Structure 1
Amino acid sequence: MKNIHFILIAAFGLLTTVDLKAQGIFKNTTRSIPASELQISDQMTTNLIFSNAIKSVDRGNRNILVQKATAVENILQVKAENSGLQNSNLTVITEDGGFYSFAVEYQKVPNNLNLKIQRAEQAELANFEKTVYMDSELAETARKVSMKSRSMPAIRERRFLTGIALTGIYIEKDLLYFQLRLENQTNIPYDIEQFRLFIRDSKQSKRSASQELEQTPMLVYGDAARIPAQSTQTLVVVLPKFTIPDQKHLKIELMEEKGGRHLQIKVKNRHLMNAMQVD
């Protein structure tokens, strides 16, 4: 009888051990990834220099202004829209899978304006299928698009004799090409401070949080720095293919440096559905 009792106790202990080990196998684990501190100002531009080309950018607050530096793919320029910016965050993913998180705060005079961002040896990597595109190939296709005549009813805005118009959307090899016409009928050159594309809610309650998804161009073909006086020019913006969810739109925004001639247009999903093949 004692032997039977001992065997039952041993068997119960073994089952308990197996059950605990089984629970351990299926138990999820999490690890906190710290964010780097980033100070930005509405009077100065902070430059983030990455080792690889920037693939995507997400802002926690729409008052954080971001753009890639003209003609380069690895420098992100960051600025506050105004001094009322509340603490927020910024997330950047580079084409090598680098994941970078920043805790953003307003500082009239930031401690550092130019930051070289290097990935830690054990940093987290973003997993995505990587397709390699040659810059020369993108530029040649963008050149073809820039030479085409208008292929759709223009979506435009004009203010103070300046304007922006979307005149064509094309697709090739899973890339979208947006043909934009910029005009300046005044004698005052239009210096571009911010050129941004982002998906946002069509209707937004004042109480709801800002929901914007920045669209970072793979290439901007043309002069995205200035619209000379009395001129019209073409920009072609290249983006990885995407569609726009219901109740949202793509906003294309042009902001003048030290000026008030800000321009913006809204692109809906039905416009993307009419994208044409590049011949």
Structure 2
Amino acid sequence: MKNLLLTSIFLSISTLTKAQTPIALDTIYANDQKNVALFFPEPIRQGITGSDNFVFTYNREKEQYFGLLQAKPGKESNLLVVNRNGSVFSYIVRYKKQLTKLNYFVSKSGSIGNEKPIFADSAKVDESKTALENNIYYYQKFCSYLLDRKQRIGRIKKRNEGIVLSVENIVFDKEELYFVIQIENRSTLDYYLNFLKLSVETRQKGKKKSLQRLYQKPIFKYNLPSKVAENQTERLVYVLPKFSISNDRRAVLELNEKNGEKNLKLKISHRFINNPN
């Protein structure tokens, strides 16, 4: 019965890993005079030997990290050990009258596989990849369309030393908000961007008034420049997941100059966020 069970387990593992390169198994020697101890990275859930002249004992009531192997003279066999996490370890076992090694410390890399291998579902991976590519393609097309339009949501603008930052439009489509942004450089020097980010500020009430700021990460950026040349204008789009804010909050678009001090903070009222085009 034990041999049948062991054969069944090995056939299952062989079926699951038949496409893999054959694994060379390590050999462990044991005899009937001494205990050979095997220490595993996870507690032992099951241990089986292939023939009766080998005995592998472990705590079946309370899972422990080690088991003991003994052997009587006879033909070689095999030992299969399954850890609590499903990791499978397999060895050739042989009788040897004189033992030179009594303790084996097994690493995780010694596992030949898992009881229930987790294979990447190629179909799902392909579907996710296709969906992502479709989203990016849609964002690109819709952002390009918005930049070609002349629609405006209101006068949302901030100036500082010849740099003009403005939000021309905020558009809701599907599950996203599209922020159409313009950066105009009226100065005599090129303007290099350090970052352009959007956050939501909450006014904290009480005697000590303060602001709590939560950064809103875009899921897509379209036409974001690294610099705005002198007397030039750049227009871009930030795509964010749809959100709304209460009247005690406001959105802030922050433009920061690389190695410079021409920084701008453009405040956007909650009414523009909650009532997009």
TM-score, structure 1 normalization: 0.49
Between 1 and 2, higher relative CO (CA 8 Å, sep ≥ 6) is seen in: 1
For the pair shown, the structure with the greater C-alpha radius of gyration is 2
TM-score, structure 2 normalization: 0.49
